[in-house]
Amino acid sequence: MADKPSPDVEACLLAHLNSGSEVPDSRSYASSLGVSHKELEDVIKSLSAFRIVESTDVTKETWVLTEEARGYVANGSPEAQLVAAIPPEGASKDVLKEKLGSVFDIGMKTAAKNKWIGFEKGNKDLVLRKVDNIKDELQEQLKRLESGESASDKVIDDLKRRKLIMKEKSIWYALKKGPQFVAKRKKLATDVTQEHLRSGDWKEIEFKDYNFGAQGQPIAVGYVQPLLEVREAIENIFLQMGFSEMPTNNFVESSFWNFDALFQPQQHPARDSHDTFFLEAPAATKQLPEDYLEKVKEVHQSGGYGSKGYGYDWKREEAEKNLLRTHTTAVSTRMLYKLAQEKPFAPKRYYSIDRVFRNEAVDRTHLAEFHQIEGLICDYGLTLGDLIGVLEDFFSSLGMSKLRFKPAYNPYTEPSMEIFSYHDGLKKWVEVGNSGMFRPEMLLPMGLPEGVNVIAWGLSLERPTMILYGIDNIRDLFGPKVDFNLIKSNPLCRLGL
């Protein structure tokens, strides 16, 4: 088909109205122009926004024919098609069925009811034609509906039941001149350009009014990842409680600082490659503080400071093995060692929030890398009561004020406690962290004075964040599968924290 140049719909419509005519029905006007109703509709919307034309919506629900019904309009109703297919001598059902397909079964019923067909006595298979002329009422009804005539309720119900018609809502418009009518719309300028200034035509041209009600473009600013948001909130709690941050910029750590200095025996299952990522290169650390290393070796092998030790043969090679740190308690240990070297001793409160790594199977609640929050207080004469009090302060600032503690075991703390908090939303107690008092076997070899205690606790950053944001799969929060839209649509305010 050759492309017909499409008419300038706006110009045609304005000229039509300008000549004094109106448009009672946009549908027929569109077809008189040879354009789709949609195309005309766009023009109408734009013109009525400027009140150049006045349009009145007309909505009507009409019955339209289904595809099946349109077939019957073209070829006759199934019963009529059936009768037409029967020759004077009659035809067998199989022959007719082959000829008519699905129309055969539908047509048989009505044709029999109307007594248009019959059967020979003793031969139920031969279909005979009983009338010469028939009046195809169904086809006529459908034709009438198609041309816009109305039909009785009974007819409509019947056609609806046979799925030959369906309701369709249509909208069209009645158009006349609007209060701002113009025979030709002027194109308004939107910007003063260099050209306008040079030619001086800016003095004559009309500019489009500013639309102060228009919505601005969304601003492409950065969005805060939930983990970073919660991290900052927690950081602020630590800072308000007088804690200072520890340097956490070493993901790679030696077994010595991650395990040995914490009085964790070299046979401990956590030191297995199933739980810990060991480095292939460099596989071993070069530097360890020799004096201190001797003391750590001694306390593992034979104890001291009131301890019996573990009584095994401590190996330096084991301590030198490099790994990805499995907890930020390695950071705390380095800090405490450093603190022990400063004389005279001064009490300290330290915190850190950073990444740790565990060789674990990844699932809805576990990742091989996550973030740990760690806090510690180092001072003379601290007790378990102090630890419980600090934890209550800390967690209630996080919005978790109902706490319970359960005795637990860590090689480096005694006593140790798991921390549970009652979650009002989930209506149950959830584990939120682990805590304890560092053992003398860990603190005294470092050189901390007798009588100095360290209370400490650790928790993951992901867990409270998931609870706060109602996220039940950790992979939606951290890692390559995170949906940026989730981050963009984060509420600015949350309940809790």
CB of 217 to ligand PHE, least distance (A): 46
Rank residues 102 and 383 by Cβ distance to ligand PHE and give the closer one.
383
CB of 345 to ligand PHE, least distance (A): 20
Partnered with residue 416 across adjacent β-strands are 408, 436
Phi–psi pair at 321, nearest 5 degrees: -60, 130
Rank residues 120 and 431 by Cβ distance to ligand PHE and give the closer one.
431
CB of 284 to ligand PHE, least distance (A): 24
In three-state secondary structure terms, 444 is: helix
Rank residues 73 and 246 by Cβ distance to ligand PHE and give the closer one.
246
Partnered with residue 341 across adjacent β-strands are none
Rank residues 231 and 325 by Cβ distance to ligand PHE and give the closer one.
325
The DSSP string of 379-412 is: EET--HHHHHHHHHHHHHHTT---EEEEEEEETT
CB of 437 to ligand PHE, least distance (A): 8
H helix or E strand, kind and range, residue 438: strand 428-438
Q: Which residue has the CB atom at the shortest distance from ligand PHE?
A: 458
CB of 222 to ligand PHE, least distance (A): 31
In three-state secondary structure terms, 415 is: strand
Identify which of 459, 430, 454 has the alpha carbon closest to the alpha carbon of residue 372: 459
CB of 231 to ligand PHE, least distance (A): 17
CB of 484 to ligand PHE, least distance (A): 30
| Residue 119, amino acid | F
CB of 420 to ligand PHE, least distance (A): 14
Rank residues 127 and 387 by Cβ distance to ligand PHE and give the closer one.
387
Q: Would you tell me which residues interact with ligand PHE (CB under 6 A)?
A: 327, 329, 374, 410, 413, 434-436, 456-458
Rank residues 37 and 439 by Cβ distance to ligand PHE and give the closer one.
439
The DSSP string of 251-314 is: SEEEHHHHTGGGT--TT-GGGSTTTS-B-STT-B-S---HHHHHHHHHHHHT-BTTB----S--
Identify which of 105, 145, 442, 119 has the alpha carbon closest to the alpha carbon of residue 300: 442
User: Residue 70 and residue 103: Cα distance in Å, rounded?
Assistant: 14
Rank residues 440 and 458 by Cβ distance to ligand PHE and give the closer one.
458
Contact residues for 413 (Cβ-Cβ < 8 A; gap 6+) = 435, 436, 437, 438, 439, 456
Rank residues 55 and 410 by Cβ distance to ligand PHE and give the closer one.
410
